[in-house]
C-alpha cells in the first residue's frame, strides 16, 4: 500500500514570499490532517478535513495560511506571505473512515520549510 | 489545553535495557496513541489504546493507560540502537456522548537514545 505522499521535501524561501505544499493521502482515506512541527516541539494541528469539508481549522493562522482539499482527495496548504517563524516541517496525515473513529493516522515524510 | 506531556524529555540507555516513557493529559479522551519519529522515516504509528482499555502489547512494546490519573506509559523492552528516536503521545478527546473528536493533539515528545 502506498503511503502518504508530500512534495516538495524541502523548500527555502525569503520572508514575504508565498509557498505551497501538496499532499496525496492514502487511497480511500476520508480524513486528512495538516500539522506544523517546529524544531524540538511536537506536531501542532493546523487543519483537519473530512472528505472535502473542514472539520477543524481553529489553529490555522487564516490571515496567511490557507488549505483546500478539492474533490476530497489531494490537498494543498499555502502560506502567503511567509514569516520567519513559519520555518518548520509541515506534515500531512490521513486516516481511514470518519474523523471520529478510533483509527490510526498515517503520516507523510513532511516538507521542511526554511524562511530566510 | 488538551495537549499531552511526555516525561522524561530525554532518556539515554544501553542496548538491552528497558525504556519507559510517560504521558499525562488534561481532559477525558477517547483514545491515546503513541508515535515514533526519526529522521529517516518520519512519524510512525506504534500503538493505539482506547479509553476502556488498560494495557496493550505489540511486540516489544507495552502501553498502559490509567484514565483516573489521566496518564499513560510506553515501555520498550530489550531496547536496540534502532529504537533511537523521538516518541510522542497523541490524544483524541471526547465530545459529549463519548464520540471521539478525531483531532489528534501531540505532546512535546521524549528523545530516546539507545547506545550500542
Closest chain A residue to B111 measured between Cα atoms?
Answer: A40
Residues of chain A contacting B107 with CB distance shorter than 8 Å: 42
**pLDDT of res. B1:** 44
Cis check for the bond before B77: say yes or no (omega within 30 of 0).
no
pLDDT at residue B21 greater than cutoff 90: yes
CA distance A83 to chain B (A): 23
Residue percentage of chain B with pLDDT more than 90:
72
Residues A59-84, mean pLDDT to the nearest whole number: 95
User: Between B40 and A109, whose confidence is greater?
Assistant: A109
CA distance A89 to chain B (A): 10
Query: Cβ of B37: how many Cβ atoms within 10 Å?
Result: 23
**pLDDT of res. A104:** 87
pLDDT at residue A102 greater than cutoff 80: no
Q: Which of residues 10-69 of B touch A (CB under 8 A)?
A: 30-31, 33, 35, 41-45, 48, 50
Nearest to B43 by CA among A88, A35, A97, A56: A35
CA distance B82 to chain A (A): 18
Q: Percentages helix, strand, coil for chain A, rounded to the nearest 5?
A: 5, 45, 45
Task: Please say whether the beta carbons of B91 and B104 come within 8 A.
Answer: yes
Residue percentage of chain A with pLDDT more than 90:
78
Q: Do A41 and B108 touch (CB under 8 A)?
A: yes
pLDDT at residue A112 greater than cutoff 90: yes
Residue with cell 488498560: B54
Lowest-pLDDT choice from B56-65, B82-91, B92-101: B92-101
**pLDDT of res. B84:** 96
User: Between B39 and A12, whose confidence is greater?
Assistant: A12
Residue B63 vs residues A42, A109, B67: alpha-carbon distances, Å: 20, 25, 13
**pLDDT of res. A72:** 85
Residues of chain B contacting A106 with CB distance shorter than 8 Å: 45
Q: Do A31 and B101 touch (CB under 8 A)?
A: no
**pLDDT of res. A99:** 67
Residues of chain B contacting A102 with CB distance shorter than 8 Å: 30-31, 48, 50, 92, 100
Residues B96-110, mean pLDDT to the nearest whole number: 76
pLDDT digits (tens, 9 = 90+) for B62-74: 999 999 999 999 9
pLDDT digits (tens, 9 = 90+) for A17-38: 999 999 999 999 999 999 999 9
The whole-chain average pLDDT of chain A stands at 93
Closest chain B residue to A48 measured between Cα atoms?
Answer: B103
User: Between A53 and A101, whose confidence is greater?
Assistant: A53
Q: Which of residues 86-115 of B touch A (CB under 8 A)?
A: 88, 92, 95, 99-109
Which of B41, B88, B102 is nearest residue A42 as measured by Cβ atoms? B88
Amino acid at each position: 500500500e502506498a503511503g502518504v505522499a508530500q512534495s516538495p521535501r524541502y523548500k527555502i524561501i525569503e520572508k514575504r514570499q508565498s509557498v505551497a505544499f501538496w499532499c496525496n493521502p492514502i487511497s480511500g482515506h476520508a480524513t486528512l490532517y495538516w500539522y506544523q512541527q517546529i524544531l524540538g516541539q511536537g506536531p501542532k494541528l493546523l487543519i483537519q478535513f473530512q472528505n472535502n469539508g473542514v472539520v477543524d481549522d481553529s489553529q490555522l493562522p487564516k490571515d496567511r495560511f490557507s488549505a483546500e482539499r478539492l474533490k476530497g482527495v489531494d490537498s494543498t496548504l499555502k502560506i502567503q506571505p511567509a514569516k520567519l517563524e513559519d520555518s518548520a516541517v509541515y506534515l500531512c496525515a490521513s486516516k481511514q473512515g470518519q474523523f471520529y473513529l478510533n483509527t490510526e493516522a498515517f503520516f507523510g515524510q513532511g516538507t521542511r520549510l526554511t524562511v530566510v | 489545553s488538551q495537549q499531552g506531556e511526555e516525561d522524561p524529555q530525554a532518556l539515554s540507555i544501553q542496548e538491552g535495557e528497558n525504556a519507559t516513557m510517560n504521558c499525562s493529559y488534561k481532559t477525558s479522551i477517547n483514545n491515546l496513541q503513541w508515535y515514533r519519529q526519526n529522521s529517516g522515516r518520519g512519524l510512525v504509528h506504534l500503538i493505539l489504546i482506547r479509553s476502556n482499555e488498560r494495557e496493550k502489547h505489540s511486540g516489544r512494546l507495552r502501553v498502559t493507560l490509567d484514565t483516573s490519573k489521566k496518564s499513560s506509559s510506553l515501555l520498550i523492552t530489550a531496547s536496540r540502537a534502532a529504537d533511537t528516536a523521538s516518541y510522542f503521545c497523541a490524544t483524541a478527546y471526547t465530545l459529549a456522548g463519548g464520540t471521539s473528536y478525531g483531532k489528534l493533539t501531540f505532546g512535546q515528545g521524549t528523545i530516546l537514545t539507545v547506545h550500542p
